[in-house]
Chain A
Amino acid sequence: MHESARSLKVAAWLGWQIESNWTEPFLFLTYSILKPVASALILVFMYLVISQGNFNNPLFAYIYVGNAFFIYVGAVLLGVSNTIVDDREHYGMLKYIYVSPIQVYFYLLGRGMAKTMTATIAVVITLAFGAIALGVRPDFFTIDWPLLIITLTVGLAGLGFMGILLAGILLITARHNDIVGEAVAGALYLLCGAVFPISVMPDWLQWAGRAIPITYWLEGLRRALLGTELVQKLHTGLEDFSTPTILLILLGSTLLAILLSIGFYRWCERRAKEKGLIDMQTMY
């Protein structure tokens, strides 16, 4: 346990150094604001050209909130998994990390924590932009805080472990890191209904969406912020699930993600050691 805590702490410190050290704080902030706000603005203008400026439709808030929290998905998944490629190919340190007595899972999660912190800034800014400029203003007193906190925490942990699954894949494959992360996040953006109710998709895609924990995570967060009743009225494809059921599914799938990721990562680690891939360099 001691080793685990240590690994987590030092990795989070290292991750934060890497995240924050690359440039001036001013640029860092610009970067944390511009990217997420631009993504949100794409949706805003898509909505604008169709709705002629009517932001009061609850569907807009539903889309906007989902998009804001989806920032975590890319950040945590990639923050955790790209550590492998970064440490192996960019810094050449993965073999030394592996020779030291750390717990690799916790090391990876720690590196992801730094990304989670920067992502939190982006999520807060996006939500604040929505509240100030677009009127997506959840009533502070009607927000279901316990639901928000529980859903957020469980979901982030689940994302971290899903990141470990992806890290396992990267441990045994060559460097396509930019493209892999981009592609997986893009696919999840669709399947989890990050920016639309999954009910608009064909049945088979809806089922795929229902099989992914992130779908329930986003639904839980939307219900916590916008109110269960309002969200259920939108016929999102998950309206038949009660909020406790959503939470239960989220918890169950997170536990499953933990077990799966540990097993799968172990398998990948073994493959990597069998094939001598821990200090591999992708040369093209």
Chain B
Amino acid sequence: MILFLRTVLGRAYPRLIGIQREKSWLIFGVFLPLLGVSAYVFIYKALKSPPEFVGFVILGGAMTAYWLNVLWSMATQFYWEKETGNLQLYLMAPTSRMAILMGMAFGGLVSTSIRAAAILIVGSLIFSVHFTVVSWWQLILVFLFTMVALYGLGMLFSSLFLLFGREAWHLSSLLQEPIYFLSGFYFPIKSLGYWVSIGASIVPITLGLDAMRQLVMPSAKWGFLSVDEELGILLVMSIVFVFVAHRALLYMENLARREGRLTIRGQ
């Protein structure tokens, strides 16, 4: 257990120190993405839509930060580590792969949360969005379960990507916009219809975001399922994803070792 925690801290350290030493990420990681999210706000403004839609975009825009972090700093990270030759060092170490991934997640979570918070706070100030929280504890639980399930999914991806070379990068890239669309980052998921929304709910952010929108903007009647139902599903997803990711990591590592794909570089 201590080894596990040490590993988490050890792997999180370079990420945290990186944030501190390379201040330029504040521009690229916080300010410029805020501008990107604003573009979607102006679409609604151009369409003269009701004000709650601006709130949808701000909240969705804040959550994109987490999806990007899962894709680029978790799912594809083992691919980068493989390219730089670090992966073999991690795998040789007598520690848990989950711990290494959790270290990455935790390290990434700090900068991602700053980015998300900046989008949320600055965005709602600039565009005068008023959030009214219906239930704080539900909101916190939804956010927590969404994060656990989401990073569990990220770990599952990274185990799959362990086998891949450059495809991992492209697959992550492929998962970016389609998930923005399917999870309804910029519009209420309900508009996609029942079955598409159910299908899209495999990505935890879909239901998490829908529940959070219901909890902070109760006047907008665009909820997909009730908050309680969404909370229940998210809880189940958190457990399942983390468990499956754990098994998949072990399985894929063995497979990759058998097929000699752990050290292929420069693809």
Contact = CB atoms under 8 A, between A and B. Distances in A.
Interface string B215-241: 000000010000000000000000000
Interface in B158-202: 165-167, 170, 173-174, 176-178, 180-182, 184-188, 191-192
B84 A283 contact: yes
B232 to A, nearest CB: 27
A180 B26 CA distance: 11
B170 A190 contact: no
Q: Which 3 A-B residue pairings sit nearest by Cβ, starting from the closest?
A: A186-B36, A183-B32, A196-B46
B135 interface: no
Interface string A188-199: 011101111100
29 contacts: A22-B267, A34-B178, A35-B174, A35-B176, A35-B177, A38-B180, A38-B181, A42-B180, A46-B44, A46-B186, A48-B191, A51-B47, A63-B46, A90-B83, A92-B266, A174-B22, A176-B24, A178-B72, A179-B28, A180-B28, A186-B32, A186-B37, A189-B36, A190-B35, A193-B42, A194-B39, A195-B39, A196-B39, A200-B45
B4 interface: no
B35 A187 contact: yes
Given A178-B72, A187-B35, A189-B36, A59 B191 contact: no
A50 B53 contact: yes
Instruction: Specify the main secondary structure of chain B where it touches its partner.
Output: helix
Contacts of B35: 186-187, 189-191
B170 A22 contact: yes
Contact of A23 (B40, B170, B176, B185): B170
Interface string B7-31: 0000000110110001011011100
A245 interface: no
Interface of B: 14-15, 17-18, 22, 24-25, 27-29, 32-33, 35-40, 42-49, 53, 68, 72, 83-84, 165-167, 170, 173-174, 176-178, 180-182, 184-188, 191-192, 222, 266-267
B29 A179 contact: yes
Given A23-B170, A42-B180, A45-B187, A187 B36 contact: yes
B25 A176 contact: yes
**Residue in B49, B167, B182, B187 whose Cβ sees the most chain A Cβ within 10 Å:** B187
Contacts of A180: 28
Contacts of B177: 34-36, 38-39, 42
Contacts of A51: 47
Given A35-B173, A91-B266, A284-B18, A190 B38 contact: yes
A50 B170 contact: no
A50 B47 contact: yes
A184 B32 CA distance: 7
Given A39-B181, A45-B181, A196 B173 contact: no
Contacts of A50: 44, 47-49, 53
B30 to A, nearest CB: 9
A214 to B, nearest CB: 13
Given A179-B25, A180-B28, 11 more contacts: A30-B174, A42-B185, A48-B191, A49-B49, A59-B46, A178-B72, A183-B29, A186-B37, A189-B35, A189-B36, A190-B42
Given A23-B167, A35-B178, A173 B33 contact: no
Interface string A13-45: 000000000110001001100111011011101
A3 interface: no
Contacts of B47: 46-47, 50-51, 59
A186 to B, nearest CB: 3
Contacts of B43: 43, 46-47, 63, 195-196
A170 B110 CA distance: 25
Contact of A187 (B32, B42, B48, B186): B32
Contact of A41 (B25, B28, B45, B181): B181
Contacts of B46: 59, 63, 196-197, 200
